[in-house]
Amino acid sequence: MTEPLPPLIESSLQIAWDFLGGLDEIDDAQQTAEFLLGNIKSQMLKGERRRLVLSNRAIDSFRRRASSQQ
């Protein structure tokens, strides 16, 4: 059984997910979710607590990674 995500992580992840999904940029749902979650957690460990900054940076990082893999 998995632990529920803290509200800040959950809302930041949802914002990023909705944005990327709305632009049809999600090819592999599991891989995308794991990447975004890891990125958001990493930012929080460095002290970031602003929801939109967390989600926007995760989106930017995801897009950079996707473009470098092409």
pLDDT digits (tens, 9 = 90+) for 45-64: 999 999 999 999 999 999 99
* Total domains present in the chain: 1
- Averaged pLDDT for residues 10-39: 98
| Nearest Cα to Cα of residue 35 among 15, 8, 17, 53 | 17
The answer as to whether 1 is a domain residue is no
The answer as to whether 9 is a domain residue is no
Confidence band of 22 (pLDDT split at 50, 70, 90): very high
What rounded mean pLDDT belongs to the chain?
94
- Pairwise CA distance, residues 67 & 70, whole Å: 5
CA neighbours within 13 Å on the CB side: how many for 54? 27
The answer as to whether 41 is a domain residue is yes
Q: The domain containing residue 63 runs over which residues?
A: 29-70
Confidence band of 4 (pLDDT split at 50, 70, 90): confident
The answer as to whether 54 is a domain residue is yes
